Every structure is written in C-alpha cells, then in structure tokens.
C-alpha cells in the first residue's frame, strides 16, 4: 500500500462567493428586478423624505434668517371685552422710545374702498383694504419692492399709493411701465410702487398703502394705529416683548397683544418634522415588506433549485459554501434595491428641490443609512432560506 494523504478541504475563493451568489439573480433577471423593487421603494421613500424635508427646512430657515426673527407685532385686543379696543394714538412714539427698539412703524386703518377704476360697482373691492403707513414701514419689515418705489416724505403727503402683492394681483396691476391709478373712494390715486410679499406681515399683502399725511388730508383715517411693527435689538426680544404692553397703554396693558411673526414660520418648520416622521415610518414599513418579499423569493429559490444545491454538494461544496451562496444572493438582491432606491430618492429630491428653488440637501446619514438598512435587511431575509439550503442533504437534493 502506498502512503495515503487526505485531500485538501474544499475552498471557495471570496471572489467566487460573489460570482456564485450573483449567478442566480443574473439567470432570473425579471424575478430579480421584481424582488428588489420592494426594498427600492422603501429606501427611495426614506431618502426622498429625508432629502426633501432637509432641503425645505433649510429653505425655510434661510427665509426666516433673511426676514429676521427680531420683529414684534403690537396690536390691540386680548383682554376681556377688548373687542373694540384700540391702541393709544401715541403707541408708535412710546414703543419707539423703548431703548431696545431699533425701528418702529405704524399702520392705520383707512375707512375707504379701493377700486381699479370708476367703473367698478360699489362693494366689489376684492377684500383689498386701504391702510396708511409710516415711511419707515418697508425698512422695518425688511420688505422689498417688485416695481417702483416706496412712499417717502414727498410722496406720502399726496394721493400716492403702494400696492401689496396680493392686492396688485386682485386689482390686475402687473407692472408700472405706464402711469397707473386706482380709485380710492372718489379720489384718483397714483400707484408709485408694487411690493413683494411680506412673509412676516401677510395682512399687508392684501392692502393698498397710502401715506399717513395723505390719509389724514384726503380720507377718513383714525388717529390710533391698528398695528405697530417694532424691530428689536437681537437678544433683547423677550424683555422688550414683556415691557411693550405697559409702555404702550399703562392703563390697560392687558389689551395690548404682542406677537412675534417669525414664531409661526418656525412652528411650520417644526410641523414639517412631524410629517417627515410619518413618511419615514411609511418608508420603514415598505422596507420591511420588501425584506419579507426577498425572504419569500429566497425560500422559493431554495425549493426550486434543489437540483443545483445537490449538484454543488456533489462538486464538493460544503454546507457553509451553500449557505454563503444564498446569503450573498439575498444581500445582492437587497443591495440592488438599495442602490436603486437611493438613486430614485436622490433624484426625486434634486428634481423637487430644484423646482421649488431650494438648495438641494441630501443628508449623508440618509444615503448611508438607507444603503446599510438594505444590506442588513437582505442579510436577515436571506438567513433562514440560506440555512435551509445548507441543511438539505445532498442525496435528497439530487432526487429532485
């Protein structure tokens, strides 16, 4: 007898593990695509939601920052029986004298109706109000002009008007290329400026603004301001807010309401968070369903491919080799879905954010997290089918 040596054990090179794992999905492409679809929808939803919410939040925060969070709005009302309360006539002056207030502007209601021209029937005002405002209003609100210029010392004494963005639309004024007039009561008033939106004072968007002197002279304007806008020193906002009511109306401080319009925008940014969480949850459900789909497909694959498993065992594959093959296959399926999902989610973010004029922000955590989730789900989904495939006895597998 010659000396006998045990042959070396079976080995499957790592690159061959990948090749063998890919051979199944490559041979059944339609099924591969369909089984990866669930995962890709889940990942796309999560990446898209995170990308869009980050992009929109950053747009909103940019807007808040540009508008400034140091604007306070002072109005009458708030106390019991304060229905017809008014701010004192001197409110603008007293608020302006508070040390921490940088700029102040008042807006007065004018009891007049505005029409595009004399032929519009009475009452068809389109809910456009007439207000009188200080010349400092534009600066106080950080507002910008769409066309023309704002009221100044000269123009505010005469029948000249500046029209808010919504009001301009309702009155049918697109630009001021030609001299444009509107009818306020019986008076023809020249439009000298069109305003952009005031995100911090949306009421003014629906108003036609005239100068305070002109209002007193030509129309019926009250002496008490309806709203006072105050730009406050950054960092002193809360204290200022606390002292304004007593300063404005020492007799009835409870009838003075002070609000901070940027709070509403910040609340909106926070509200988006809740919606994002909801959509993320939906994405996670889709991901889970996708994982179950892959597990299902893999279980079927193991049953269908008993012959292949038996053959591979006959060719020298160990149980571990078979397990690795099917695990790799499941992970490849879900990675395929993950890559597609990240691409779709990113594309959706870029397209939508660009259409909204937002800065495109793709959170790295979302992209990496989505991809990692796909790998993990594939591994978990493939575990049971892979164990089943590995445990199949070669003789039983070859009987199929």
Residues that bind other proteins (CB under 8 A): 1-2, 4-13, 15-16, 19-20, 23, 26-27, 307-308, 310-321, 393-395, 398
Q: Residue 219 corresponds to which tokens in the numbers above?
A: 């129309």
- Residue 12 to residue 187: CA distance in whole angstroms: 93
- Taking the complex as a whole, the smallest distance from the CB of residue 39 to other proteins amounts, in Å, to 23
Q: Residue 264 corresponds to which tokens in the numbers above?
A: 């509403």
- Taking the complex as a whole, the smallest distance from the CB of residue 40 to other proteins amounts, in Å, to 23
Strand partners, 55: none
Between residues 260 and 306, which has the closer beta carbon with respect to other proteins? 306
Between residues 129 and 312, which has the closer beta carbon with respect to other proteins? 312
- Taking the complex as a whole, the smallest distance from the CB of residue 377 to other proteins amounts, in Å, to 26
Between residues 281 and 307, which has the closer beta carbon with respect to other proteins? 307
Q: Residue 208 corresponds to which tokens in the numbers above?
A: 């036609």
Between residues 161 and 336, which has the closer beta carbon with respect to other proteins? 336
- Taking the complex as a whole, the smallest distance from the CB of residue 290 to other proteins amounts, in Å, to 25
Between residues 90 and 319, which has the closer beta carbon with respect to other proteins? 319
Buried b (16+ CB within 10 A) or exposed e, 95-114: bbebebbbbbbbbbbbebbb
- Residue 121 to residue 300: CA distance in whole angstroms: 76
- Taking the complex as a whole, the smallest distance from the CB of residue 3 to other proteins amounts, in Å, to 8
φ, ψ dihedrals at 200, nearest 5°: -95, -5
- Taking the complex as a whole, the smallest distance from the CB of residue 14 to other proteins amounts, in Å, to 10
Between residues 6 and 127, which has the closer beta carbon with respect to other proteins? 6
Beta strands in 52-159 (DSSP E): 71-76, 101-109, 114-115, 129-133, 145-148
Between residues 17 and 139, which has the closer beta carbon with respect to other proteins? 17
Three-class SS of residue 81? coil
- Residue 218 to residue 44: CA distance in whole angstroms: 62
- Residue 324 to residue 19: CA distance in whole angstroms: 11
- Taking the complex as a whole, the smallest distance from the CB of residue 394 to other proteins amounts, in Å, to 4
- Residue 106 to residue 135: CA distance in whole angstroms: 9
């Amino acid at each position: 007898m010659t000396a006998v040596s045990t042959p070396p054990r079976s080995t499957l090179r790592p690159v061959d593990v990948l090749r063998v794992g890919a051979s199944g999905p490559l041979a059944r492409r339609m099924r591969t695509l369909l089984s990866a679809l669930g995962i890709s929808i889940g990942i796309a939803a999560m990446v898209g939601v995170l990308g869009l919410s980050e992009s929109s939040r950053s747009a909103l925060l940019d807007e808040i920052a540009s508008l400034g969070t140091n604007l306070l709005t002072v109005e009458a009302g708030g106390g019991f029986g304060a229905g017809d309360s008014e701010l004192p006539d001197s409110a603008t002056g007293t608020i302006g004298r508070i040390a921490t207030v940088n700029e102040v502007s008042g807006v007065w209601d004018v009891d007049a109706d505005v029409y595009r021209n004399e032929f519009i029937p009475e009452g068809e005002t389109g809910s456009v109000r007439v207000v009188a405002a200080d010349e400092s209003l534009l600066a106080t609100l950080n507002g910008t002009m769409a066309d023309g210029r704002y009221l100044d010392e000269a123009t505010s004494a005469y029948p000249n008007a500046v029209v808010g963005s919504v009001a301009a639309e309702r009155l049918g004024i697109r630009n001021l290329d030609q001299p444009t007039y509107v009818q306020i009561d019986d008076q023809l008033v020249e439009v000298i400026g069109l305003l952009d939106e005031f995100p911090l004072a949306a009421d003014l968007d629906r108003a036609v603004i005239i100068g305070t002197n002109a209002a007193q002279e030509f129309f019926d304007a009250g002496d008490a301001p309806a709203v006072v806008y105050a730009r406050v020193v950054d960092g002193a906002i809360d204290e200022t807010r606390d002292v304004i009511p007593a300063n404005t109306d020492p007799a009835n401080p409870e009838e003075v309401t002070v609000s901070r319009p940027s709070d509403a925008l910040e609340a909106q940014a926070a509200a988006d968070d809740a919606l994002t969480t909801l959509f993320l949850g939906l994405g996670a459900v889709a991901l889970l369903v996708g994982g179950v789909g892959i597990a299902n497909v893999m279980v079927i694959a193991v049953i269908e491919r008993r012959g292949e498993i038996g053959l591979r065992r006959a060719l020298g594959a160990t149980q571990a080799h078979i397990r690795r093959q099917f695990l790799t296959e499941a992970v490849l399926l879900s990675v395929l879905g993950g890559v597609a999902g990240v691409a779709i989610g990113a594309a959706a973010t870029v397209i939508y954010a660009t259409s909204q004029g937002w800065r495109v922000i793709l959170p790295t955590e979302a992209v990496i997290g989505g991809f990692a989730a796909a790998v993990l789900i594939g591994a978990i989904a493939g575990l049971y089918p892979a164990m089943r495939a590995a445990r199949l006895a070669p003789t039983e597998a070859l009987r199929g």
